[in-house]
Chain A
Amino acid sequence: MDNRDPFRHNVLTSGHRACSGCGEAMAARMVSDLVGPEAIYVNATGCLQVFSTHNQQSAWQAPWLHSVFANAAAVASGVEAALRAKGKHTPVVVQAGDGGTFDIGLQCLSGMIERGHDVLFVCYDNEAYMNTGVQRSSSTPHAVRTSTSPPGQFSQGKHEIKKDVISIIAAHQMPYAATATIAYFPDLKAKVEKAMRIKGPRFLQVLSPCPLGWAHDSGLSVTVSRLAVETGLFPLVELEHGELTGVMRIAEQKPVEAYLRPQGRFKHLFGSKAGSVELRHLQALADARIRRYGLLDADTQWTTESAMQSERHGRGGYAGEQA
Chain B
Amino acid sequence: MMPKLEIEPGSSAVYHTGDWRTRQPRYQDKWPPCSQVCPASEDIQAWLALAAEQQWQAAWRKLTDRNPFPATMGRICYHACESACNRKHLDSAVNIHAMERYLGDMAIARGWQHKPYCDQPQAQRVAIIGAGPAGLSCAFQLARHGYAVTIFDAGVAPGGTLHSGIPDYRLPKAILASEIDAILALGIELRLNSRVGDVVNEAALRDEFDAVFVAIGTQQPRHYPHADHSNHSLMSGLEFLHRLNRGEPVALPKQVAVIGGGNTAIDVARCARRLGAEATVICAHDPHGSHHRELGTEMPASLQEVVEAEAEGVQLIYRAGVRRLVRSGEHLSGIEIAHVDQLHDRHGNFNPVLFDGTEEFVAAGLAIFAIGQETDWQGLAQLSQASEKEGVWIGGDAAGKSKLAATAVGSGYQAAMSIMASLKGESFRYGEHKKSKVTFRDMQLHYYPKQTRCEGEMSEQRLEGFNEVVKGLVDDDAVYEAKRCLSCGVCFECDNCWHFCPDAAVIKKTGAYEIDYDYCKGCGICAQECPCGHIDMEALK
Q: Note whether A and B form a binding pair.
A: yes
Q: Which residues of A contact B (CB under 8 A)?
A: 1-2, 4-8, 10, 12-23, 25-26, 29-30, 52-59, 61, 182, 185, 211, 217-223, 305-306, 308-315, 317, 323
Who on chain B is nearest to A23 by CB? B502
* CB < 8 Å neighbour of B10 from A7, A8, A58, A218: A58
Who on chain B is nearest to A226 by CB? B446
Q: Are B502 and A310 in contact (CB under 8 A)?
A: no
Residue B523 CB within 8 A of the other chain? yes
Q: Are A222 and B525 in contact (CB under 8 A)?
A: yes
Q: Are A18 and B10 in contact (CB under 8 A)?
A: no
Who on chain B is nearest to A61 by CB? B11
B438 to chain A, nearest CB (A): 15
Produce 1/0 per residue, B501-518, CB < 8 A to A: 111110111100000101
* CB < 8 Å neighbour of A219 from B16, B492, B519, B528: B528
Q: Are A15 and B508 in contact (CB under 8 A)?
A: no
* CB < 8 Å neighbour of A182 from B8, B16, B21, B500: B500
Tell me which residues across on chain B come within 8 A of A308, comparing CB atoms. Answer: 446-447
Tell me which residues across on chain B come within 8 A of A4, comparing CB atoms. Answer: 507, 516
Q: Are A317 and B495 in contact (CB under 8 A)?
A: yes
Who on chain A is nearest to B500 by CB? A222
Tell me which residues across on chain A come within 8 A of B527, comparing CB atoms. Answer: 219
Who on chain A is nearest to B495 by CB? A314
Q: Are B9 and A57 in contact (CB under 8 A)?
A: yes
In the bound complex, what is the Cα–Cα distance between A294 and B141 (angstroms)?
Answer: 62
A308 to chain B, nearest CB (A): 6
Q: Are B447 and A323 in contact (CB under 8 A)?
A: no
Q: Are B11 and A312 in contact (CB under 8 A)?
A: no
Given A30-B499, A222-B500, A315-B494, also A310-B531 (CB < 8 A)? yes
Residue B13 CB within 8 A of the other chain? yes
Q: Are A223 and B500 in contact (CB under 8 A)?
A: no
Tell me which residues across on chain A come within 8 A of B11, comparing CB atoms. Answer: 1-2, 13, 15, 57-59, 61
Tell me which residues across on chain A come within 8 A of B448, comparing CB atoms. Answer: 309-310
* CB < 8 Å neighbour of A25 from B10, B450, B496, B503: B503
Q: Are A314 and B524 in contact (CB under 8 A)?
A: no
Tell me which residues across on chain A come within 8 A of B12, comparing CB atoms. Answer: 13-17, 52-54, 57-59
In the bound complex, what is the Cα–Cα distance between A305 and B446 (angstroms)?
Answer: 7
In the bound complex, what is the Cα–Cα distance between A300 and B519 (angstroms)?
Answer: 40
Given A12-B504, A21-B521, A217-B524, 9 more pairs with CB closer than 8 A: A5-B507, A15-B12, A18-B503, A57-B15, A223-B528, A309-B449, A312-B53, A315-B499, A317-B495
**Closest 6 interchain pairs by CB?**
A219-B524, A21-B523, A15-B12, A14-B519, A310-B494, A59-B12
A228 to chain B, nearest CB (A): 15
In the bound complex, what is the Cα–Cα distance between A253 and B267 (angstroms)?
Answer: 49
Given A26-B500, A314-B495, also A15-B524 (CB < 8 A)? no
Tell me which residues across on chain A come within 8 A of B525, comparing CB atoms. Answer: 21, 26, 218-222
A173 to chain B, nearest CB (A): 34
Tell me which residues across on chain B come within 8 A of A14, comparing CB atoms. Answer: 12-13, 17, 503-505, 516, 518-519
In the bound complex, what is the Cα–Cα distance between A309 and B493 (angstroms)?
Answer: 13
A188 to chain B, nearest CB (A): 9
Q: Are B502 and A313 in contact (CB under 8 A)?
A: no
Tell me which residues across on chain B come within 8 A of A56, comparing CB atoms. Answer: 7-10
Given A25-B502, A29-B502, A310-B531, also A15-B447 (CB < 8 A)? no
In the bound complex, what is the Cα–Cα distance between A182 and B502 (angstroms)?
Answer: 10
Residue B210 CB within 8 A of the other chain? no
Residue B52 CB within 8 A of the other chain? yes
Produce 1/0 per residue, B72-106, CB < 8 A to A: 00000000000000000000000000000000000
In the bound complex, what is the Cα–Cα distance between A134 and B250 (angstroms)?
Answer: 86
Tell me which residues across on chain B come within 8 A of A315, comparing CB atoms. Answer: 494-495, 499
Tell me which residues across on chain A come within 8 A of B508, comparing CB atoms. Answer: 5-8
Q: Are B502 and A58 in contact (CB under 8 A)?
A: no
Q: Are B523 and A218 in contact (CB under 8 A)?
A: yes
Who on chain A is nearest to B505 by CB? A14
Q: Are B21 and A20 in contact (CB under 8 A)?
A: yes
Q: Are A312 and B494 in contact (CB under 8 A)?
A: yes
Q: Are A221 and B523 in contact (CB under 8 A)?
A: yes
Q: Are A26 and B449 in contact (CB under 8 A)?
A: no
Given A221-B523, A312-B52, A314-B495, also A26-B447 (CB < 8 A)? no
Given A219-B523, A311-B494, also A58-B9 (CB < 8 A)? yes
Q: Are B17 and A310 in contact (CB under 8 A)?
A: no
Would you give 15 A-B contacts (Cβ < 8 Å), ordered by A?
Answer: A2-B11, A10-B504, A14-B13, A14-B519, A17-B12, A22-B502, A26-B525, A58-B11, A61-B11, A182-B500, A211-B523, A221-B502, A222-B500, A312-B487, A314-B494
In the bound complex, what is the Cα–Cα distance between A219 and B524 (angstroms)?
Answer: 4
